[in-house]
Amino acid sequence: MCGVYREPMTAMAKARLLDEAESTGDTTRMSELAEHRDRAVRAAVARNPSAPIALLERLVADKNYLVRFAVARNPSPAAWQIAMTAPDADVRVILAQRQDLDEQTLERLVAAPEVAVRMSVAESTQRSDVLHRLARDPEKRVRAATATRPELLSDDDLELLAADKTTQVRAVVVQSRRLSEKTVTRLAADRSGHVRYFTLEAHPERFDLAERLQADKDSDIADLARRIVAERPTL
């Protein structure tokens, strides 16, 4: 049995429909559009700040992830609370990227049980106090994500991460230009070859370290050190 043929919408007609879905205040029309076969239309409804809670609860469970994510992109705080309870944790990963979250929602995201959600907070927040907490997170991947934000970390937080027990964290934070000379020197002698390599790569002006690391047992580190020394300007 043949399906019913539907003539595709023109680009202009679709643009008008998407605009209507995202801006209409007519709840009946929103409900109709939330059932649309086109995921982009359903996602537009999910971003509509006037969408009723019951409708958002339905859309946050949509079969398409783009529609579910759109609920987290809705500017309404009511939508954020729905996103916080979504079965799909990736919805909260998207929510954590927002810069306009209220204190309660941000606090819940910082304490979320999902590592990916806390990592998303670390990678997105502009708040030093939040990063201060995440620099002490029990999960190494969260601490490593925090280490990628040195411009917002205090000196104490940077030094804490530089002394982290996990190679992954030290290898990230050593790339910061804000570490003290003493700390960079210590990391250049780190037990991990990855940390030593990234130390040398991120601080090529430290010719004293390059000279020493020319004899490193790791050939990649030794080769990099020799190149740095060879490029040292002559006085």
Question: Among positive and negative, which fits the CA dihedral 23, 41, 58, 115?
Answer: negative
Instruction: List the chain domain ranges.
Output: 11-74
Rounded to an integer, what distance in angstroms lies between the CA atom of residue 197 and that of residue 25?
Answer: 57
Look up the pTM and report it: 0.89
Using 50, 70 and 90 to split pLDDT, how confident is the model at 124?
Answer: very high
In tens, the pLDDT along 86-111 reads 999 999 999 999 999 999 999 999 99
pLDDT score of 49 more than 90: yes
Instruction: Output the pLDDT for position 111.
Output: 97
> What is the CA 155 to chain-centroid distance, rounded?
22
pLDDT for the residue numbered 27: 96
In a 10 Å sphere around its CB, with 0-12 CB exposed, 13-18 middle and 19+ buried, how is residue 145 labelled?
buried
Per-residue model confidence as pLDDT tens digits over 196-227:
999 999 999 999 999 999 999 999 999 999 99
Sign of CA dihedral 15, 16, 17, 22: positive
pLDDT tens string 168-189: 999 999 999 999 999 999 999 9
